[in-house]
Structure 1
């Protein structure tokens, strides 16, 4: 592995850092977060403004082709920018799904008219998109989705959509969404799906935010009740919805992958230094030092896995299994070990929220509540482990009894 930037990468990193120094405030602490006390609406507005500024400077969609307003850059350049941005106090990236998943699908599968109308506004933060995939009965196996799209029988050139989606990120703030539907139940499950894009204020679409344990409502249920969608809003051919979705999913790892604040083990070490335990500092306790060492070794191991992937990207190759493995290991490293340790150090005060502890506690609180979601986002742990086992280790595949079977027979 090569742990150093190439000369070209070092130049790009310096360029990103210089722009960020002029346009954002450097974090005073690694665990500092943006927008304390702001409402969700205020955070969305801040994210829109920041996306627009990045786009104007050429950082809004680094890997997009120049013809669509991007930089025509490499995935490695995208990673470098995110690493540098992680040192600055900037709004949360609410455009990861729009820029990283949905719009790249439009590049490939939508008409010239659709691309001309929607790509620019999405890039500059004027329009937010969501991805309408998961359903109550079709999570990891999207092939089992039941949201129906049926041809209009009243002379209109379009479709009527009925069904339900769930875990739709920022659906309540989105202007548009890409929805995967079932259009033909008489063929195998992945062959009978079609993609459409919809305006989220279309009559018959109901968005219901899901209140999470943290008090936030990042995710939503979305209901389609006799929603009319013109055929001009079909993306790709009828029955080719899975191909459209795969285009988005192939971009997902880079799209939703964030950069954790660097050296979180130092944050834990400072907490241990000041936390009292048995008449002294928690740092003096061997058992607590073991937990700090566990955090450090797991975080460093995760970084080494990521470094392998970045080395491949830097040399223009596709990353190997290390990025899938790092997905499995990333949840327990920052989202389980660190908050558990921090909460234990607070003793009975560990049950208190950031409202009582202060702003220094907000990252711990966010990681604690986000730990379960990290095991689902970007593909569940179980699905990723299956992929690693079958495609990397060469283990026998799990039995699949639905292959080639028409979808309507799978429901019986």
Structure 2
């Protein structure tokens, strides 16, 4: 494997870096670096800045409005975005449902939904998990009943990321109970402002509002909001999950986290007269985390090297998901060491008011939020089963 980028790719890197340094809204970068929650307006402005450049749908094929970048250019773009401190692109639209739409939707559906996803003006949420169907997603009971060209939606979705910012939600719904449970699932889109849709915030242990419950009470949507064939939603969802699990890698972001940990440890005492970076145990853990990021990066390269333009990583993405989760948690555990006695939840935005360092507020928040990575997107246990059965053929 050739691990060096071509001169042409490095020229591309310079172009991307210059955009983030001189054209992208600096106040949004500053807010994101400070660990502050972004408003819906902030998110739209951030993503529309990328959309106006033609860079939001960075992995889409050119025929659907993508920039036509190589895998290497897509990788460099993601790396530079995270290096600059730009907010991570909300994946539900451009990374998740977008590829499903341009692969399986009708021409009219593509014309309706792809432009708003591509330019960042329309936000999406993902309606998969339910109170009784998380990792065992095929057990979902959310219902969609078709009558006279209209689906009636009823049920309860939970752990719905960024739904408070979304204009649309794509759903997995049960349209049949016959045969295997995977065979009765259908992929449907629904506007978030439809009558009967109720959003309930879930405040997580880091004090932030990222997740939601979404309730549907006799919500009506037209039949042409269904993507593809009725009963084929499981197939489309598995295609989508390959993109979702690969998106967790975030190599550039993890390297930025490591730099942050090293900088803090180089200036913070370890309780005596030495810097934390000179503590043998901490230095070992930092080195191990750096090696883990290198290993994750090599795995990403292997998976991406086999992709065609716009193709899904498939089951191999489960390896990335596990390694990305473990590495993120490994790094954020270093944050607890650098926060020391300030490593406590609950102070959040009030950190400065009570004399606590701002880095501790942000870093401990990242630690607590990262614990959920072992669960969302399919638990690590589920990912290992996928690898054993579908990748290794055991």
The answer, yes or no, to whether TM exceeds 0.5 is yes
Cα distance per residue 1:79-128 (max 9 Å; x no partner)? 2111111221323422x110111122222232222221221122212211
Equivalent-residue separation in structure 2 for 1:228 and 1:339 (angstroms): 43
Equivalent-residue separation in structure 2 for 1:13 and 1:269 (angstroms): 25
Aligned to 1:128: 123
Cα 1:221/1:10, change in 2 over 3 Å: same
TM normalised by structure 2 equals 0.86
1:129-208 equivalence runs, <5 A:
129-152=124-147, 156-208=148-200
Computing the radius of gyration from Cα coordinates, the structure with the larger value is 1
Answer yes or no: is the 8 Å Cα contact 1:214–1:366 preserved in 2: yes
1:5-404 equivalence runs, <5 A:
5-24=5-24, 34=32, 36=34, 40-41=38-39, 44-94=40-90, 96-152=91-147, 156-255=148-247, 257-258=249-250, 259-262=252-255, 264-277=257-270, 279-281=272-274, 282-310=276-304, 312=306, 323-335=317-329, 337-351=330-344, 353=347, 355-356=351-352, 357-395=356-394
Point out the structure with the larger helix share: 2
Answer yes or no: is the 8 Å Cα contact 1:334–1:367 preserved in 2: no
3-state DSSP of counterpart to 1:248:
helix
Residue 321 (structure 1) shift: 7.9
Answer yes or no: is the 8 Å Cα contact 2:153–2:217 preserved in 1: yes
Cα 1:329/1:32, change in 2 over 3 Å: farther
Residue 261 (structure 1) shift: 4.2
Aligned residues: 385
Cα 1:342/1:181, change in 2 over 3 Å: closer
Residue 367 (structure 1) shift: 2.5
- What RMSD in Å do the two structures reach over aligned CA positions? 3.0
Cα 1:204/1:5, change in 2 over 3 Å: same
Answer yes or no: is the 8 Å Cα contact 2:34–2:362 preserved in 1: no
Cα 1:157/1:382, change in 2 over 3 Å: same
Cα 1:10/1:313, change in 2 over 3 Å: farther
Answer yes or no: is the 8 Å Cα contact 1:76–1:313 preserved in 2: no
Equivalent-residue separation in structure 2 for 1:74 and 1:320 (angstroms): 19
Answer yes or no: is the 8 Å Cα contact 2:61–2:309 preserved in 1: no
Equivalent-residue separation in structure 2 for 1:159 and 1:320 (angstroms): 30
3-state DSSP of counterpart to 1:277:
coil
Equivalent-residue separation in structure 2 for 1:83 and 1:231 (angstroms): 40
Structure 2, gaps ≥5 residues long: none
Which 10-residue stretch deviates more, 59-68 or 5-14?
Answer: 5-14
